């Protein structure tokens, strides 16, 4: 894995961890965001034949969905649309 991508992933993890630590239940909020992001990615993959909108399922999209949650999946969709 390229060092730049690794550093970017580490920065995302730190930012999400600091934001979650500000709340009363940090572990619960991190896990809830990860579950919602992975569920959004799974729903998108299941509905892809009907809607025609699809994201490739790989390590990067899984990481973004788990760390950033639903906003990360939406960002991936927008990047897919623009690129």
The domain limits of the chain are 3-82
pLDDT above 80 (res 59): yes
Determine the pLDDT at residue 1. Answer: 66
pLDDT tier at 11 (50, 70, 90 boundaries)?
A: very high
pLDDT tier at 12 (50, 70, 90 boundaries)?
A: confident
- Mean of the pLDDT values across residues 47-52? 93
Determine the pLDDT at residue 5. Answer: 81
Percent over 70 (pLDDT), the chain? 99
Question: What's the maximum distance between 2 C-alpha atoms anywhere in the chain?
Answer: 40
- Mean of the pLDDT values across residues 58-83? 92
Q: What is the mean pLDDT of the chain?
A: 91
């Amino acid at each position: 894995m390229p060092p730049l991508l690794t550093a970017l992933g580490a920065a995302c993890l730190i930012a999400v961890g600091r934001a979650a630590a500000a709340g009363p239940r940090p572990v619960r909020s991190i896990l809830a965001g990860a579950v919602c992001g992975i569920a959004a990615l799974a729903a998108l993959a299941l509905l892809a034949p009907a809607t025609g909108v699809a994201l490739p399922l790989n390590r990067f999209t899984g990481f973004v969905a788990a760390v950033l949650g639903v906003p990360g999946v939406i960002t991936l969709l927008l990047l897919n649309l623009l690129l």
